[in-house]
Amino acid sequence: MQIGLIGLGKMGYNLALNLRDHRHDVVAYDISETTMEAIAAEGVATAATIGELVQQLQGRKVVWVMVPAGAPTDAVLRQLAPYLSMGDIVIDGGNSNYKDSMARAVQLKQAGIHLLDCGTSGGLTGARHGACTMVGGDAEAFDFCEEVLRDVSVEKGYLYTGKSGSGHFVKMVHNGVEYGMMQAIAEGFEVLHKSDFDLNYKEVARVWNHGSVVRSWLMELVESAFSKDPELAALKGVMHSSGEGKWTVETALDMEVATPVIALALLMRYRSQENDTFSGKVVAALRNEFGGHKVESAE
């Protein structure tokens, strides 16, 4: 079917190719002309503005928005909405906070526009060759788009999760789980690394991926990473984060749910961003105060 696509970042670009491969009629727009030229060279139609993009769509319009969460998504929706009419559908495939999606759905609904909040997992290879999509919003709008959602996802890899917000909510929790799983795996390899055994981490990841209880796509990626750099010697262990782990913890706090593992996975990321901590200084100072224990000097 015909579909507009706004945003050709790492995820959006791969999605465009994915849609094209499934013979959907994509009209793409991105603020970067270079990117637009690149996707055009791949056989995807482009539009010079968001307005033109919508004009190229026929009948009941469907526009997939794939831009960073927060202000960028708001900006695109603000630009896009005036061109849409009653019954048209916007799919937000980005990592929006589910509460934002709920509010945006209410607002767009006032103009009769449907918002499907589509959590998208699977990383870049997923966007390119088959993602995992969790979709909230009006059931009728979902049904209208189901063909597209099915096609961009791996087999069995899409789900209608219910009312507005539920798609991004399920995706948010997915990311919280991901934080915990990644930290668990990482701690395990640190224990291996600190041991006196002389282990080949890539081989350990490989064997764990074949028949063990912890076999998983993340462990396959660990194997891949160690195959490129057997001790990860080129990397610094700074763990950045992009928001959804934090939202999961905040949501858990609001619900008064104990999520210690997800919370600690997040906090260890923050800790990794510091070379030294003020809390460490306070403890070191205290130990010196009461026990005369030596302190180390800051350089």
The pair of structure tokens assigned to 156 is 């069995």
From the CB of 40, what's the least distance to a second copy, in Å? 22
Residue that is written with structure tokens 């460490």 in the block = 280
Closer of 72 and 157 to a second copy (Cβ): 157
Nearer to a second copy, 2 or 272 (CB): 272
The SS3 assignment for 91 reads strand
Burial (Cβ within 10 Å: 0-12, 13-18, ≥19) of residue 29: buried
Please state, in angstroms and rounded to a whole number, the distance separating the CA atoms of residues 116 and 161.
Answer: 11
268 Cβ contact list (under 8 Å, min separation 6): 183, 239
Q: Are 174 and 134 in contact (CB under 8 A)?
A: yes
Q: What are 220's two structure tokens? A: 């396959």
Residue closer to a second copy (CB basis): 29 or 160: 160
- Closest CB to a second copy among residues 108, 134: 134
Nearest distance in Å: CB 266, a second copy: 7
Q: Which is nearer to a second copy, 59 or 260 (CB)?
A: 260
CA distance 39 to 18: 12
Instruction: Report the alpha-carbon distance of residue 103 to residue 230 in Å, rounded.
Output: 47
Smallest gap, in angstroms, from Cβ of residue 47 to a second copy? 26
CB of 156 to a second copy, least distance (A): 4
Q: How far is the CB of 125 from a second copy (least distance, A)?
A: 8
Place of tokens 């997915």: 174
Per-residue tokens: 125: 């290879």
Q: Is the CB of residue 145 less than 8 Å from the CB of residue 89? A: yes
Q: Mind telling me the catalytic residues?
A: 171, 178
